[in-house]
């Protein structure tokens, strides 16, 4: 089980980014969460099989149509055994 903490910078709020991540995560069986940050970035945590987590990280590098991703920071973390995926407040 792999875990990645991801910060996405650029024009990433107001373009359906969180919901695109949620759809992709649920389709791959990846657990975690995604949220908008007050600084304009999007933050996410993904837990799952390595291949599935990598697909989600790559999605974040592109974003949905309308997004303009400038920078993505990815940190490996220890998996916590999260269940399900949610869009956080």
Question: Does 18 qualify as catalytic in the annotation?
Answer: yes
Of 18, 23, 61, 86, the catalytic one is: 18
Reported as a single tens digit per residue, the pLDDT across 41-86 is 999 999 999 999 999 999 999 999 999 999 999 999 999 999 999 9
Q: Identify the pLDDT of residue 40.
A: 98
Q: For the domain with range 9-69, which CATH number is right: 3.30.70.100, 3.40.50.300, 3.40.30.10, 3.30.1330.60?
A: 3.30.70.100
| 32 dihedral zone (left: phi>0; alpha: psi -120 to 50; beta) | left
Residue 89's pLDDT band (cuts 50, 70, 90)? confident
For the chain, the structural domain boundaries read 9-69
Of 4, 36, 61, 71, the catalytic one is: 36
SS (H, E, C) the chain: CEEEEEEEEEECCCCCHHHHHHHHHHHHCCEEEEEECCCCCEEEEEEECHHHHHHHHHHHHHCCCCCEEEEEEEEEECCCCCCCEEECC
Asked if residue 21 has pLDDT above 80, the reply is yes
């Amino acid at each position: 089980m792999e875990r990645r903490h991801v910060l996405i910078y650029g024009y990433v709020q107001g373009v359906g980014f969180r919901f695109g991540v949620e759809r992709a995560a649920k389709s791959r069986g990846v657990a975690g969460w995604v949220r908008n940050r007050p600084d304009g970035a999007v933050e996410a945590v993904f837990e799952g099989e390595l291949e599935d987590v990598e697909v989600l990280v790559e999605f974040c590098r592109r974003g949905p149509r309308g997004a303009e991703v400038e920078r993505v920071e990815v940190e490996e973390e220890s998996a916590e055994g999260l269940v399900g995926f949610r869009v956080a407040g």
